[in-house]
Amino acid sequence: MKEMYPKKGRVILHVDMNSFYASVEAAHDSSLKGKPLAIAGNPEERRGIIVTCSYEARKMGVRTTMPLWEARKLCPQLIVMRPNFDRYRAASTAMFEILAQFTQLVEPVSIDEGYMDITDSYELGSPLEIAETIQKRIMAQLDLPCSIGIAPNKFLAKTASDMKKPMGITVLRKRDIPTVLWPRPVSDMHGVGAKTAEKLKGIGIETIGSLASANEIQLKMLLGINGLRLKDRANGIDPRHVDPEAVSDFKSIGNSTTLPRDIANQHELFEVLGSLADKVAARLKRKQVVANSLSITIRYKDRKTVNRGRKLANPVAGKEEILQLAKQLLVTNWNGDPVRLLGITGADLAGAEEAVKQLDLFSYEKEAKKEPLYKTLSVLKEKYGKNIIANAGSKTETDANKGTQTSFNKDFLRGFRPGMKGNEAE
């Protein structure tokens, strides 16, 4: 079987669960199978947005991120359910446990997708046989459908898994790139959003093939280093390894909320920012990190979205300092029109223990007052261990809080390691 694998290079699988939330609900309640089903953030209010939907709903025109009122207009018989994140986490953990039966090199990307490096798994069969076994096992044990891409690198594997849904298995080799990849619109390419596609169109790049042969100097001037990276991807070049430890990495922490009504009153917007700052601060403390930059998101009534941030001289973690910075960013960047959504994000994260605070003239006096407390804590930690004292906010979330976390937070997988059993990954 070893001859089915490359002598040089890797064999990468991208496993992508199909309509994951809707599929998990249908697996839990078989009466939902074959029906148009949507999972929405808040079915009772205007803020209700389709998080995901079944393929039966998609055939009626329902799409992810579509407002609920619009989805119901297209599909009057649509069944709408609130998300059950505990249920989805359990299914996700079980899915990754199945993947880990085939290789130690499993990298969760989100709650419903992950990469596998099966280069050294040739004793289990050919790449296609392994993919078929994984697909069948996930269906048999969890009653969940998935699509799998097989390729020599992550980018091509991800692209391949999207080609046949649901329940598809696609092989994409480098020699297939000119015929399969290059004729497609550049907007279809992973890593190219609407704004990037528009910029590329401005210099005559409309297909993945034209990106693959684009002038590198022109690309770098337009998109920076990311332009060169995208050109490599268009040529099937992606040196990234499958990294089982990547699930422990996080680059930013943020929270956003769609307002119950459009708000143009600054005081009310400040109150919303206060609630968001509280949530962001709690998550920073829980992860024991600080943010070296802060940004806010403002979405207006016409859905125009503005993101503005600031690199900070001193890292932040507390609610009050986050709130003050967020207020400043809002006052500076808000045009006065009614606001539909607000968000706060802390980025450039660093461990609280390692972070060095550059004290300026304004913060020195305040910090100096805390010095006796810091010394006391230092003595206690040195004597009894650094975990003897911790902020209450750094403790593990309660079960009640888990239910309110967003779908895209993969914190629950940070302890996942191939070969773990059920509750060991919690």
Least Cα distance to 244 among 415, 57, 34 occurs for: 415
Place of tokens 């096992």: 137
* Cα 386 from Cα 392, distance rounded (Å): 15
Q: Are 114 and 106 spatial neighbours (Cβ–Cβ below 8 Å)? A: yes
Q: φ and ψ at 215, to 5 degrees?
A: -70, 125
* Cα 118 from Cα 63, distance rounded (Å): 33
Give the H/E segment covering residue 252.
Answer: strand 252-263
Q: CA 288, 289, 295, 300: dihedral to nearest 10 degrees?
A: -30
Say which amino acid occupies 306. Answer: V
- List the catalytic residues: 113
Place of tokens 């006052």: 331
Q: Which residues are annotated as a binding site for Mg(2+)?
A: 16, 112
Number of other residues whose CB lies within 10 A of the CB of residue 333: 13
* Cα 69 from Cα 420, distance rounded (Å): 42
Question: C-alpha distances in angstroms, 343 versus 276, 291, 418?
Answer: 7, 15, 35
End-to-end CA distance of the chain: 37
* Cα 14 from Cα 96, distance rounded (Å): 12
| 115, β-bridge pairs | 14, 107
How do beta strands 113-117 and 106-110 pair? Answer: antiparallel
Say which amino acid occupies 50. Answer: I
